[in-house]
Structure 1
Amino acid sequence: MVKIHNKSDKPDNIVAKQHHIIDKCIEIETALPHFMKDYFIYLKNAVSLSTRLAYLEDIEFFLKYLISNDESFIHLNNLSEITIEQFSKLKARDINYYIGEYCTRYLKSINGNDYLFKNDNRSLARKKSSLSSLFKYMYRNNQLENNITDGFNPIKLPKPQPDAIKKLAVDEVAIMLDIVSTGEGLTDKEKIYWEKTKLRDKAILLLFVTYGLRLSEIQQLNLSSFNYGRDEFKIYRKRSKEALMPLNSTIKKALDDYISCERPNSDLLDENNEDALFLSIQNKRLTMKAIRELVKKYTSLAMGTTRDKGYSPHKLRATAASSLIDYGFSIYDVKTLLDHENITTTQLYSAQRKNLKRDIIKNFEWNDEKK
């Protein structure tokens, strides 16, 4: 474990996570061709840390494809051997074939097993964006003579439809919270763990459906994130933005029950987990995978479906947005709470307001009495 000497106001677990991502970025950059070094410096300052890693992974994957499939590169042993002269000979049609043909469906060997991977248009658009960023930068940086991105084929993304938004109904949220309190519907094996984690699980679910928090925002919470004197807590949004969220009585009670009755005393924990809010049975910070699984379990029970049909944490974010609008809050209020970049995202949830058409027509009647 790396010892953190933290002089910022960010908690150590946030700093440690960022450090881990930076290490992964550096590891990939070291394996890539040296002529991309200027682009790596550009990425560090131009995009968020998670986007930087995603772009580097996409570029690494593309270069591996070239070495495995392109005649001009197939003789090379590793990615760092690719020269700028070879790279500059790539044409737009090479990228179009890679994105439109190879990436849509490919086989990958992992631990001796072959897996079939398929990418939808949204994933393909991300891969295209990563390569467009690289080629545009190298053109502007006078490393390439032509900007081949003008010839990249467009990728049509499906327009989000309000009816397609998956979320829990208000009554299903009530059922879910009742299940986590009573254990009803759980298997005998699940009840063994539920007895030890029911207060923790309830607090997590309430945070999701009350604030519409993202998975990472909940997983990163610490005891020190909360200021009960001011009835607020701090979260770290995407792009390292900080936000203060107000506490209500329901959340305060759920957290107090968990911390007082279920969570081990911090004195009994190691220094890497003593401040973590949500802990596993092994007394370590709960992983995002574990939170994802518990959400899937309880949402599947609330909807009366199989476990594999349960919802992801992001569907609880959608649930919070739709519920707030159903309760009469404006889309601008919801946008602020959920930190949507664009109001059109929030409008999608507004369009799903239950019985909206009925309410409009009921209060807009043409009759003699209103003349």
Structure 2
Amino acid sequence: MAGEKSVKLHNKSDKPDNIVLKEHEIVSKCEEIQDQLPGCFKGFFRYLKGNVLSKTRVAYLGDILHFCQYLIEETDLTEAEKPADIKKEDFNKIKAADVNEFLDHCRKYKVMQNGQEVLFQNGNRTLARKKSSLSVLFKELYREGRMEENITEGFDPIRVPKASEREIKALQDDEVMIMLDAVESGDHLTPKERQYWNKTKKRDKAILLLFLTYGLRLFELQQLNVTSFNFSRGEFKIYRKRDKETIMPLNRSVTETLTDYIENERRPDEELDELHKDALFLSLQGKRMTERQIRELVKKYTSIGLSTSRKAGYSPHKLRATAATSLIGRGNSIYDVQALMDHEQVTTTQLYAAHKMNIKRDLVRDMEWELERKEGTERNETE
């Protein structure tokens, strides 16, 4: 965690230290970007802080910093040499057409990083977020009287598929079983992967089961602590978006798997640095696993379940979708699943209810043209 060693924590809240430090890390990132932006944005910064989730704030501020750099490097709208020096008067020169050109530029552009040219290509979902970031900025600047007109109505629309139009990607039950068999036996792993698997198989199995059983978000699982679990009461606590705390019940499978990992594989506390002693899932270096490490682990095992390449494996969010579709497929109430998954709107959960996992497979199974042709030919030959 960036900067974690330089922070002396005096935590008097009910939140675990790692949750407080994670929040501090995100806020510090926001402040770091804000320091690079024009001073006339201070009111906008206050607006974001009070109305937008911290992770969204980081994304919005990053988009706006990119826009300011674009103004300096690609336009003649400002004479500033760095984003912080762009003046209020410069922003009043900006028209909707300039923003539309920026969004078109963002579809594909090149940046020099460490002496190497890096090509960035963005889809409509990313472009829509960048448009949203700039819309919020310009509306707030207009509301504060820092801009003479509201230019946002002239922004080009960006077509993003509705959730109901997107294909829901999730593992099917037989693929889940193949994946869990692989983490149990080490089958389908490369020789190098098996070396790591011998040291982490109990941990890996616990991670997969928590995703599959509760549909946890990646950051929710990554921040779990040993003290998050009360095995005598059969429950554990997670920290969700918008500062929500949720108590989850433990089932037998998860309890046995976690207990096995903690007692028989997890490194003893006395071998760990103070910062990581309470972390549930540890890397081989004895530190709390990063989101990236967990994401790569999930991609590896899901690729085995899907019988595809490691690169084509699923993300943790697809295991969240797997949990939702499996729960609904077992006849559970859509409202109960909504509560478990922490969906703000039941319409989100309904997308999983409408997604019939095997419907396409069943349909094409009844349309085996070539097999029917061969069977017909063989029948004719025997008659």
Instruction: Classify the TM-score, shorter chain.
Output: over 0.9
Displacement of 1:107 in angstroms is: 0.8
| Alpha-carbon displacement from aligned partner over 1:228-256 (angstroms, at most 9, x marks no partner) | 23211111112222111111111100100
- Relative distance call for 1:251 and 1:126 in structure 2 (3 A) is same
Displacement of 1:118 in angstroms is: 1.3
**Matched ranges for 1:104-253 at <5 A:** 104-161=107-164, 164-253=167-256
Question: How high is the sequence identity, in percent, across the aligned residues?
Answer: 58
The yes-or-no answer on 1:27 pairing with 2:47 is no
Q: What code does the residue aligned with 2:67 have?
A: F
Q: What code does the residue aligned with 1:118 have?
A: Q
Partner of 2:367: none
Pairing partner for 1:61 from 38, 41, 66: 66
Partner of 2:88: 84
3-state secondary structure, aligned to 2:248: strand
Q: What code does the residue aligned with 1:39 have?
A: F
Q: Is the 8 A contact 2:77 2:93 kept in 1?
A: no
Partner of 1:368: none
Pairing partner for 1:347 from 342, 345, 350: 350
- Relative distance call for 1:354 and 1:43 in structure 2 (3 A) is closer
Partner of 2:45: 40
| Alpha-carbon displacement from aligned partner over 1:279-309 (angstroms, at most 9, x marks no partner) | 0111000111111111111111111111111
Q: What code does the residue aligned with 2:201 have?
A: K
Q: Is the 8 A contact 1:162 1:351 kept in 2?
A: no
Displacement of 1:334 in angstroms is: 1.1
| Structure 2 CA distance for aligned equivalents of residues 356 and 150 of structure 1 | 42
Partner of 2:102: 98
Q: Is the 8 A contact 2:299 2:313 kept in 1?
A: yes
Pairing partner for 1:304 from 304, 307, 311: 307
Q: What code does the residue aligned with 2:187 have?
A: E
TM-score normalised to structure 1 length: 0.93
- Relative distance call for 1:162 and 1:324 in structure 2 (3 A) is farther
| Alpha-carbon displacement from aligned partner over 1:246-269 (angstroms, at most 9, x marks no partner) | 111111001000000000111221
TM-score normalised to structure 2 length: 0.90
3-state secondary structure, aligned to 1:164: coil
Displacement of 1:355 in angstroms is: 5.7
Displacement of 1:356 in angstroms is: 7.0
| Alpha-carbon displacement from aligned partner over 1:5-57 (angstroms, at most 9, x marks no partner) | 11111111111111111111111111111111111112111111111111111
3-state secondary structure, aligned to 1:204: helix
- Relative distance call for 1:63 and 1:329 in structure 2 (3 A) is same
Displacement of 1:155 in angstroms is: 1.2
- Relative distance call for 1:358 and 1:267 in structure 2 (3 A) is closer
Q: Is the 8 A contact 2:216 2:341 kept in 1?
A: yes
| Structure 2 CA distance for aligned equivalents of residues 52 and 212 of structure 1 | 25
**Structure 1: where are the runs of 5+ without partners?**
360-371
Q: Is the 8 A contact 1:162 1:352 kept in 2?
A: no
| Structure 1 CA distance for aligned equivalents of residues 59 and 360 of structure 2 | 42
4+ residue segments displaced more than 2 Å: 159-163, 353-359
Q: What code does the residue aligned with 1:84 have?
A: K
Q: Is the 8 A contact 2:215 2:320 kept in 1?
A: yes
Q: Is the 8 A contact 1:209 1:320 kept in 2?
A: yes
| Structure 1 CA distance for aligned equivalents of residues 259 and 85 of structure 2 | 57
Q: Is the 8 A contact 1:14 1:220 kept in 2?
A: yes
Q: Is the 8 A contact 2:172 2:357 kept in 1?
A: no
| Structure 2 CA distance for aligned equivalents of residues 340 and 292 of structure 1 | 22
Q: What code does the residue aligned with 1:66 have?
A: L
| Alpha-carbon displacement from aligned partner over 1:83-119 (angstroms, at most 9, x marks no partner) | 10111111111111111x2011111111111121111
Displacement of 1:156 in angstroms is: 1.4
The yes-or-no answer on 1:70 pairing with 2:75 is yes
**Matched ranges for 1:243-322 at <5 A:** 243-322=246-325
3-state secondary structure, aligned to 2:35: helix
Displacement of 1:76 in angstroms is: 2.2
| Structure 2 CA distance for aligned equivalents of residues 272 and 206 of structure 1 | 26
Q: What code does the residue aligned with 1:280 have?
A: S
| Alpha-carbon displacement from aligned partner over 1:326-364 (angstroms, at most 9, x marks no partner) | 1111221111111112222111111123467999xxxxx
- Relative distance call for 1:102 and 1:254 in structure 2 (3 A) is same
- Relative distance call for 1:35 and 1:357 in structure 2 (3 A) is closer
Pairing partner for 1:51 from 50, 56, 66: 56
Q: Is the 8 A contact 2:182 2:188 kept in 1?
A: yes
Displacement of 1:320 in angstroms is: 0.5
- Provide the aligned C-alpha RMSD in A: 1.7
| Structure 2 CA distance for aligned equivalents of residues 271 and 104 of structure 1 | 45
